[in-house]
Each structure stands twice: as structure tokens, then as C-alpha cells.
Amino acid sequence: MLTFVGVGPGDPELLTLKAVRLICDANAIALPNRGTALRIVRKLVANKPLLELNLPMKGRREDWEAAHDRAAGQLLEWLDRYDTVAFPVLGDPGVYATSSYLCRRIRPAHPCEIVPGVPAMCAAAAALGVPLCEQGEMLTVLDRLDGALPEGNAVVMKASRCLDELRQAARGREIYIAQNLGMEGQWLGKIEDAPEGSGYFTTAIVKR
């Protein structure tokens, strides 16, 4: 069995009990490159076989597709060797996650399980003390900003690349920023106070 396990946005204490159990019980671990997901689960995977997959985040579409095809092939080879392989996924596997593309490729040949985790937007809202949406409010989740913001509240994931556009698009609306949640260099506050040079792990919450 291949299990895609959501491990939350950065703080190991946000791992669910099910995530801990499945990762500890797995015969092997697979994940994209050495990075944040491995740091979150490091204490749980000591001495387990580790498959590192090269999955670029940028580049030409055809190269991106080819990388996911290769990674799916590698995972299927490991599933021939190990009964259970756990794949830690940052945040939740259903929210802008690499696991979606891998699962789609592997499921026709091998069963997969998907285990939810704490999404960055929910952790950000909790840390900031700002509700994502209240009675009757609409919430839109984006991974980029193309033009005007939608009506209602909005979350922009990976918002570091569009903070200037967010400032212009908001036009008086409140925007809250969470950077590096649960990691070194965590910062929480309003967008006008955000430090320069925000990193990849930046989530913006826009209130209507």
C-alpha cells in the first residue's frame, strides 16, 4: 500500500495521530527531495529506507510531466519491494499537493490511500486569530493572483510571489500574512508590516 500522509505546514506537533501511526508502521518512506516534509517527520523515520524523488516545482510543462512520470515509476518499483510505503505531504494532500499528480498515475496499477493533514491556511488562521470565514461568508482559495481579488474572503497560498499585487488588489481590505508557520523564522501579522524578502512558505488571508 502507498499512503500519502498529510503532515501539516511545519510544526511536528500538528501531525495527526493517524499520520504518526502510518509513518511509524511503514516499511519505507518516499518524498520529494530533502526538505521540509522530511524535517517534520525526521524523528519518525530514522533507519527506514528513504526514496528521494526529484520533482521540480518550476520549468516547462513537458519536463514537469516527465518528472512525475519518472517518480511514479520509481514508486511502483519500491512497492514491489516494500509492503507499505508512506509519502509525507506538506499540509494536506488535497490542497495544491504533488501527491495528487502521483496518485493519479499510480492508482491504476496499485492501491493508494490518502490521509488528510492540517492545511497551511487553517494553521495560519489559527495562529493569526483570524477566522477564514464566518456565517454567510464565501471563501476562495488561490495559488496565485491574476487580476482582481474575488468577492468575499480569500486565501492565497504561496503568496510570496504576489505580495505587491495583493497590496494593490486589496484596496483597503485587511490582509494577514503567515510566513514559515511552525518553522524557524515564523512571522505573523498584517501585510503592511511584513518583512522584506518573504519566503516560499507564505500564506495570505484576505478579509472582505
Q: Last residue of some domain: 115, 139, 167? A: 115
Task: Encode pLDDT of 91-108 as tens digits.
Answer: 999 998 888 999 999 999
Separation CA 48–CA 90 (nearest Å): 19
Of the chain, the end-to-end C-alpha distance in Å amounts to: 44
| Domain at 34, CATH number | 3.40.1010.10
Task: Encode pLDDT of 45-57 as tens digits.
Answer: 988 999 999 887 7
Provide the grid cell at 131.
Answer: 477566522
pLDDT at 25 over 80: yes
Task: Encode pLDDT of 147-188 as tens digits.
Answer: 778 888 999 998 888 888 888 877 778 999 999 998 888 999
pLDDT category of residue 137 using cuts at 50, 70 and 90: confident
Please give the full DSSP string across 20-54, using - where no structure is assigned. HHHHHH-SEEEEESSSHHHHHHGGGSTTS-EEEE-
Q: What is the 3-state secondary structure (H, E, C) of 154-187?
A: EEECCHHHHHHHHHHHHCCCCEEEEECCCCCCCE
pLDDT at 77 over 90: yes
Higher pLDDT, 195 or 23: 23
pLDDT, position 34:
63
- Computed over every residue of the chain, the mean pLDDT equals 90
My answer on whether 45 and 100 are in the same domain is yes
| Domain at 125, CATH number | 3.30.950.10
DSSP code, position 129: T
| Average pLDDT of the segment spanning 76-87 | 95
My answer on whether 53 and 139 are in the same domain is no
Reported as type and span, the H/E element at residue 115 is strand 112-115
Count of domains for the chain: 2
My answer on whether 72 and 109 are in the same domain is yes
Contact 115, 18 (CB under 8 A): yes
- Other C-beta atoms closer than 10 Å to the C-beta of 84 total 14
Range of the domain at 21: 2-115
Q: Where does residue 168 rank: exposed (0-12), middle (13-18), buried (19+ CB within 10 A)?
A: exposed
My answer on whether 20 and 100 are in the same domain is yes
Separation CA 92–CA 47 (nearest Å): 25
